[in-house]
C-alpha cells in the first residue's frame, strides 16, 4: 500500500483522512504545526502513524515529510476568512508560499499525486446557482485568493512537472471533531454544541440563508477517489452534497434529532455573508465516481 502524507493531519478534515487511510492499510505520515489542529484528534492512532511537527514554511520539515511518499493530501492552511482580512500577509505566507514549498518538496521527492484542498470561497457571491467549475471565479477575501492560488499552483505543477495534482473545492464541510469554539467555526459545529449543552444558538440574519453541507466522511471519500482516478489529474472539482439547506431547516432537523426545542436568538446578518450556496457535483460524479453517502440527518446525528 502507498505511503501517504496528510498535511494538517491533526485538524478536522485531516484527522478523518488519517483514520480512513489507516483503515485501508496505507502507511500514514502527518505534517502539522498544531496551530489550529489538536494532538487529541490523532490520539487513537498515534502509535500507528508518523507525526512530523513542523510548518509549511519550513523547507527542512517539508523535505522530511515528503521523503518516500506516494500521495499527498494537502489539508494544512489558515482556514479563517476573517483572519485573512485582518492579516493577509500571514495567510499568504502559509497558504500560498507554504503550498508552493510543499509542491516543490513533493516534486523533488518523486511524489506521484497531490490532492489539494480548495474552497467554495473562490466563487464569491455570484448569485448564479448551482456553482459549477466553469463559472467565473470571484475571490472576495485574501483567504479566497490564497485558495485560488493553492489550486492553480497545483495544476501548473501537474502541467510542468511529473507531479500529478487534483484540486477539490470543498463546500460547507461538517462532522465530528470540527471545533465549535470560535465565533467563525462552522455553523453546524456551533449549533450541535449548543444543542448538546441545551444552550441558545445565534442566527445571523433571518435564517433563510442556505448552504450545501457535506459530511466529512464524504469529503474523505472524495479525496481517496481523487488520489487515484486517472481522469482527475489536472482538474478542479467541487465537493459537496449538491443539496441546499437553510439554517431554519437545520434548526428543525436538530430539534427533531434531539427531541427538544432549540432556543434561537436572531442577530444582524454578518457583513460579507453570502445568501445561498449550492454546488453542481456532476464533475465529481463523472471524474471521480463520487456519490455522497451521508445524508444531512445522519451526519447531524453523528456530529451530535
Ligand atoms: C464557509 C467557510 C469559509 C469560506 C466560506 C466561503 C466554513 C466553516 N467556513 O463559510 O471558510 O470558505 O464558506 O463562502 O465552512 N451562522 C449563524 N450562526 C452561527 C454561525 C454561522 O447564523 O453561529 C451563519 C453564517 O452567518 C452563515 C451560515 O451560518 O450565513 C454559514 O456559516 P459558516 O461560518 O458555517 O460557513 P460560511 O458559508 O459562512
Are 146 and 203 in a shared domain?
no
C-alpha cell at 73: 493530501
Q: What was the pLDDT predicted at 184? A: 77
CATH of residue 235's domain is 3.40.50.720
The confidence score (pLDDT) of residue 258 equals: 96
Provide residues with CB under 6 Å of ligand 1. 79, 81, 119-121, 172, 186-187, 190, 202-204, 209, 211, 247, 270, 273-274
Same-domain status, 61 and 192 = no
Residue 80 sits in the same domain as residue 195: no
Answer yes or no: is 288 within a domain: no
- What's the CATH number where 268 sits? 3.90.25.10
Task: Confirm whether 86 is domain-assigned.
Answer: yes
pLDDT computed for residue 50 by the predictor: 98
What integer pLDDT is reported at residue 75 of this predicted model? 98
Domain-located, residue 71? yes
For the stretch 68-119, pLDDT in tens is 999 999 999 999 999 999 999 999 999 999 999 999 999 999 999 999 999 9
Distance 158 CA to ligand 1 centre (A): 31
pLDDT of residue 194: 96
Q: What does the alpha-carbon distance between residue 33 and residue 38 come to, in Å, rounded to a whole number?
A: 9
264-267 and 213-215 beta bridge pairing: unpaired
Domain enclosing residue 255, as ranges: 174-212+242-279+293-303
Query: What are the backbone angles phi and psi of residue 102, rounded to the nearest 5°?
Result: -65, -45
pTM over 0.95: yes
Quick one: pLDDT at residue 170? 98
How many whole angstroms from 60 Cα to the centroid of ligand 1?
35
Please tell me the distance from the alpha carbon of residue 262 to that of residue 101, in angstroms, as a whole number. Answer: 46
Same domain? For 200 and 299 the reply is yes
Decide if 129 is inside a domain: yes
* Three-state DSSP state, 184: coil
Same domain, 20 and 103: yes
Helices (H), 24-139: 59-66, 81-86, 88-91, 98-109
Residue nearest to atom 39 of ligand 1 (CA): 273
Same domain, 57 and 132: yes
What residues of the chain score a pLDDT lower than 50?
Answer: none
Q: Is the peptide bond before 223 cis (omega within 30 degrees of 0)?
A: no
List all residues 6 or more positions away from 298 whose beta carbon is below 8 Å from its beta carbon: 215
Taking a C-beta distance cutoff of 8 angstroms, is the pair 281, 240 a contact? yes
CA distance 145 to 78: 12
Q: Is the dihedral of CA 30, 33, 38, 40 positive or negative?
A: positive
What pLDDT, on a 0 to 100 scale, did the predictor assign at position 234? 98
Residues 102 and 202 in one domain: no
Q: For the chain, what is the radius of gyration of the CA atoms? A: 19
Total structural domains within the chain: 2
Residues 168 and 255 placed together within one structural domain of the fold:
no
From residue 277, how far is each of 107, 140, 213, 240, 247 by CA, in Å? Answer: 35, 15, 9, 10, 12
At 271 the pLDDT is: 85
220 and 180 housed in the same domain: no
Atom of ligand 1 nearest to the CA of 121: 6
Amino acid at each position: 500500500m502507498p505511503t501517504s502524507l496528510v498535511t494538517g493531519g491533526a485538524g478536522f478534515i485531516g484527522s478523518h483522512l488519517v483514520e480512513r487511510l489507516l483503515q485501508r492499510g496505507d502507511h500514514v505520515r502527518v505534517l502539522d504545526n498544531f496551530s489550529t489542529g489538536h494532538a487529541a484528534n490523532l490520539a487513537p492512532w498515534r502509535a500507528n502513524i508518523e507525526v512530523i511537527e513542523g510548518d509549511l514554511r519550513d523547507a527542512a520539515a517539508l523535505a522530511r515529510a515528503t521523503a518516500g511518499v506516494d500521495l499527498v493530501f494537502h489539508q494544512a492552511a489558515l482556514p479563517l476568512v476573517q483572519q485573512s482580512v485582518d492579516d493577509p500577509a500571514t495567510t499568504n505566507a502559509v497558504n500560498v508560499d507554504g503550498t508552493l514549498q510543499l509542491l516543490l518538496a513533493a516534486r523533488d521527492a518523486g511524489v506521484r499525486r497531490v490532492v489539494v484542498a480548495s474552497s467554495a470561497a473562490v466563487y464569491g457571491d455570484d448569485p448564479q446557482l448551482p456553482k459549477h467549475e466553469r463559472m467565473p471565479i470571484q475571490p472576495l477575501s485574501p483567504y479566497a485568493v490564497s485558495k485560488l492560488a493553492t489550486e492553480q499552483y497545483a495544476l501548473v505543477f501537474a502541467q510542468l512537472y511529473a507531479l500529478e495534482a487534483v484540486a477539490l473545492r470543498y463546500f460547507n464541510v461538517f462532522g465530528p471533531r470540527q471545533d465549535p469554539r470560535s465565533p467563525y467555526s462552522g455553523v453546524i459545529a456551533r449549533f450541535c454544541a449548543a444543542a448538546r449543552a441545551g444552550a441558545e444558538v445565534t442566527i445571523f440574519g433571518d435564517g433563510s440563508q442556505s448552504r450545501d453541507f457535506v459530511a466529512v466522511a464524504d469529503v474523505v471519500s472524495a479525496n481517496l477517489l481523487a488520489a487515484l482516478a486517472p481522469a482527475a489529474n489536472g482538474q478542479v472539482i467541487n465537493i459537496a452534497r449538491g443539496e441546499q439547506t437553510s439554517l431554519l431547516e437545520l434548526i428543525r432537523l436538530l430539534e427533531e434529532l434531539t427531541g427538544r426545542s432549540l432556543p434561537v436568538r436572531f442577530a444582524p446578518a454578518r457583513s460579507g455573508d453570502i445568501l445561498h450556496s449550492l454546488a453542481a457535483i456532476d464533475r465529481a460524479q463523472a471524474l471521480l465516481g463520487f456519490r455522497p453517502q451521508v445524508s444531512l440527518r445522519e451526519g447531524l446525528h453523528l456530529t451530535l
